[in-house]
Structure 1
Amino acid sequence: MSASSRRSFLKTSAAVALGTALPVGGCVSDGPPDTAGHEGDATGKGARYDISLGQWSLHRALFDGDLAPLDFARTARDAFNIGAVEYVNQFFMDRATDAQYLQEMKTRAEDAGVESLLIMCDGEGALGHPDSAERAAAVANHHKWVEAAAALGCHSIRVNAQTRGKGSPPEQKKRVADGLRRLTAFAAEREINVLVENHGGLSSDAEWLAGVMNAVDHARCGTLPDFGNWQIREGESYDPYDGVRTLMPHAQAISAKTYDFNDQGQEATLDYAKLMRIVLDAGYRGHVGIEYEGDGLSEREGIRATKQLLVDVRNQLGNASP
């Protein structure tokens, strides 16, 4: 498959997996109608995306026991009127193979009218481990999350391109590609995608991560660009706008990281209009997941501020010339 054909296939398959169509009008359930009068359809100029909620945005409440993981989907709907969620495996690590628990989670989400999109997976080993046996074990450790994602009705799991920092960047790329290729083969049989986030270290070097995607060369292995995770090592970070642009040809989900807001409701460190223009110009029309990680607002206030920012930017880009 040529690079251009593969990019086209990725975009189409991502849209199908997300339950959305490539740029046509439609409705989403993430708040009141925008200024154009069409909820989610930004005046027909292609600036349309859906808003979802990443579970990490409520990590303090979940870790403190103030919110039960099974109540997350209902909270997304009732507290924020958001109709799609991304789970984090840390909040139900011991339940990955508990069919009854997963069915309850799925039922509660469906009863709330909430779509389950993906599971963000951590703590299961390095898919690019320098030891081949450890690498194989990490692949096997992720299998249960692939099956959990399928049970919940998700389209993907999110994994990390961990390598333990051993070897040259090309050597680390080769190992990660090997682990991802094997995990993706398992996931593809269950119609689940394997997505890699820029999540620190070499994975935050967008050119390196795009090279990993090219090496895996599988339509079900893609990226999940995070707007905020760009530190490669202490004192060295990748430009977030160049990073998002570089990862977008492989993107099948987006993480809208926010830290703080100015008096105008804009993210204080990131130009969201610029970021979302890059996303839309790449042809992406799926969900953009809220991931508030700041300290200036409470978790719930931060989620609401991020959602409002995404709605405002959607309206702004929809009313601008393409």
Structure 2
Amino acid sequence: MSSSTNRRHFLRQLGLFTAGATLGPAFLTACNSAGTNSGADSAKADSAAGAGTAKDLFFKISLAEWSYHNAIFSGKMTNLDFAAKAKNDFGITGVEYVNQFFKDKAKDKTYLADLKQRADDNGVRSVLIMCDGEGELGDSDEKLRKQAVENHYKWVEAAQFLGCHSIRVNAAGTGKAEEVAKHAADGLGKLAAFAKDFNIGVIVENHGGYSSNGIWLSDVMKAVNNPNLGTLPDFGNFCINRSKPVDASPEAWAKTTCLEEYDRYKGVLELMPFAKGVSAKTHDFDAEGNCIETDYNKMLKIVKDAGYTGYIGIEYEGAKDSEDEGIRKTLALLKKAGASLS
């Protein structure tokens, strides 16, 4: 099973896709600090982000843990190994954790202290935690929506403990676009208000369904109007309507296709005004090392023109290259495209 199929399968299990989706200042301080290397500690931790030449880029480079989902799910590596691997194998000094890989450890201070120590020992900055499987923040049922908000509290606290600036969440729900937008604004607004007291931001990724429509998600941001809430534009997650599998098996999901895809450049452009993080998605590369799905020169120009200087997280999901090689190619591509704009 390909890694992209794995991704769809797990997202489906976690309820991240909305059915039939078709579409007719504490946080700012923290993010600006992470984005501009202000402060002696931040400067020291981030100086080698990506590798030696990354200091010349207009952004910093981090590694999204989902890039290693095959290795972690198979037991070849663990969440505790992640920070050292990012630094020692690639020279990357920013990491983005995935809550699935330490699902039962959010309140385990001994485990979190070990995870934090390993990052500190390697000079690695814990940037954010990507949170899935905690309920739909745009659920139409008020009680379920309230529970989803509260389910994220432990990850806000874990993110603070680890030194992250944010948690990444999803604006998922079922119903008409305007209904889900209203409910998502309510859930996200309440979670952002809670997280503010911990100096942790709440950032939303375009992650399938309505959330992959740039206008829809940017309108949700405007409706909440809370500086502690932002977006994490992903270069590749713009399928807003996918064919239905015959069952929930990985094989069935492998046969699904995207029926309606939002323009990725338009979507990133619409989400960048609210961006507190960016995800550099890759699947496959040509002989020159360019991403086949996304024009990185064009995409990074959109990011730069928005005035963004924070972390761009590598998220390799391909099947042709190994996870190590896919990460390495994405890193090289980010440096090459970024250098041409810096």
Out of 255, 264, 272, the position equivalent to 2:279 is: 255
Match of 1:15 in 2: 32
**Residues 1:152 and 2:167 aligned together:** no
**In structure 2, how many angstroms separate the alpha carbons of the residues matched to 1:19 and 1:93?**
31
Report the CA distance between 1:19 and its aligned residue.
Answer: 5.7
Match of 1:265 in 2: 289
Match of 1:131 in 2: 141
Match of 2:264 in 1: 240
Matched residue type, 2:82: F
Match of 2:113 in 1: 103
**In structure 1, how many angstroms separate the alpha carbons of the residues matched to 2:260 and 2:151?**
31
**Residues 1:225 and 2:233 aligned together:** yes
Match of 2:55 in 1: 40
**Residues 1:186 and 2:200 aligned together:** no
8 A contact 2:50–2:61 mirrored in 1: no
8 A contact 2:210–2:217 mirrored in 1: yes
5+ residue gaps, structure 1, are 1-7, 43-47
Match of 2:209 in 1: 201
Residues 110/57 of structure 1: CA separation in 2 closer, same or farther (3 Å cut): same
Cα deviations across residues 279-321 of structure 1 (Å, max 9, x unaligned)?
0000000010000000010000000000000010111112xxx
**In structure 1, how many angstroms separate the alpha carbons of the residues matched to 2:31 and 2:265?**
22
Match of 1:88 in 2: 98
Match of 1:71 in 2: 81
Report the CA distance between 1:12 and its aligned residue.
Answer: 6.0
8 A contact 2:94–2:126 mirrored in 1: yes
Out of 47, 51, 66, the position equivalent to 1:28 is: 47
8 A contact 1:197–1:224 mirrored in 2: yes
**In structure 1, how many angstroms separate the alpha carbons of the residues matched to 2:185 and 2:292?**
35
8 A contact 1:272–1:313 mirrored in 2: yes
Matched residue type, 1:124: E
Matched residue type, 2:64: G
8 A contact 1:18–1:117 mirrored in 2: no
RMSD across aligned C-alpha pairs, in angstroms?
1.8
Residues 218/134 of structure 1: CA separation in 2 closer, same or farther (3 Å cut): same
Secondary structure, aligned partner of 2:149: helix
- Identical-pair percentage: 51
Aligned residues: 297
**In structure 1, how many angstroms separate the alpha carbons of the residues matched to 2:27 and 2:81?**
32
Residues 170/250 of structure 1: CA separation in 2 closer, same or farther (3 Å cut): same
Match of 2:256 in 1: none
Report the CA distance between 1:28 and its aligned residue.
Answer: 3.2
Match of 1:212 in 2: 220
Matched residue type, 2:323: E
8 A contact 1:213–1:250 mirrored in 2: yes
8 A contact 2:212–2:239 mirrored in 1: yes
Report the CA distance between 1:17 and its aligned residue.
Answer: 4.2
Cα deviations across residues 231-259 of structure 1 (Å, max 9, x unaligned)?
00031111000000000000000000000
TM-score by length of 1: 0.89
**In structure 2, how many angstroms separate the alpha carbons of the residues matched to 1:276 and 1:311?**
11
5+ residue gaps, structure 2, are 1-24, 243-258
TM-score by length of 2: 0.84
Residues 269/280 of structure 1: CA separation in 2 closer, same or farther (3 Å cut): same
